Amino acid sequence: MIFDVENIRNDFPILSRNVNGKPLIYFDNAATSQTPQQVIDVIVDYYSNYNSNIHRGVHTLSQEATDKYEGARQIIQKHFNALHSHEIIFTSGTTHSINLVANGFAGLLTKSDTVLVSALEHHSNIVPWQMLCEKTKATLKVIPMTQEGALDMDAYDNLLLLNPKLVFVNHISNALGTINPIEEMIQKAHKVGAAILIDGAQACPHIKPDVQALDVDFYVTSGHKMCGPTGVGMLYAKEAWLHKLPPYQGGGEMISEVTFEETTYAGLPHKFEAGTPNICGGIAFGAAIDYMNSIGFDAIASYEHELLEYATGKMNAISGMKIYGPKENKTSVISFNIEGVHAYDLGTIIDKLGIAIRTGQHCAQPIMDFFGISGTARASFSFYNTKQEIDVFVEGVKRATMMLR
Tell whether omega for the bond before 13 is within 30 degrees of 0, i.e. cis: no
From CA 281, how far away is CA 247, in angstroms rounded?
Answer: 22
Query: Across the strands, what pairs with 196?
Result: 167
363 is catalytic: yes
- CA distances for 126 relative to 1, 253, 364, angstroms: 42, 30, 9
Q: How far is CA 308 from the centre of its chain?
A: 19
From CA 291, how far away is CA 171, in angstroms rounded?
Answer: 22
Number of helices (H), then strands (E), in the chain: 14, 17
Q: In 3-state terms, what secondary structure has residue 104?
A: helix
Which listed residue (204, 227, 280, 363) is catalytic? 363
H or E element at residue 348: helix 343-351
Burial bucket for residue 188 (CB in 10 Å: 0-12, 13-18, 19+): middle
DSSP string for residues in 304-317? HHHHHHHHHHHHHT
Which amino acid type is present at position 192?
V
From CA 339, how far away is CA 34, in angstroms rounded?
Answer: 31
From CA 129, how far away is CA 111, in angstroms rounded?
Answer: 14
Tell me if 32 sits within 8 A of 228, measured CB to CB.
Answer: no
Angle between helix 37-45 and helix 279-295 axes, rounded to 10 deg: 150
From CA 311, how far away is CA 394, in angstroms rounded?
Answer: 8
From CA 359, how far away is CA 337, in angstroms rounded?
Answer: 10
Report the catalytic residues.
363
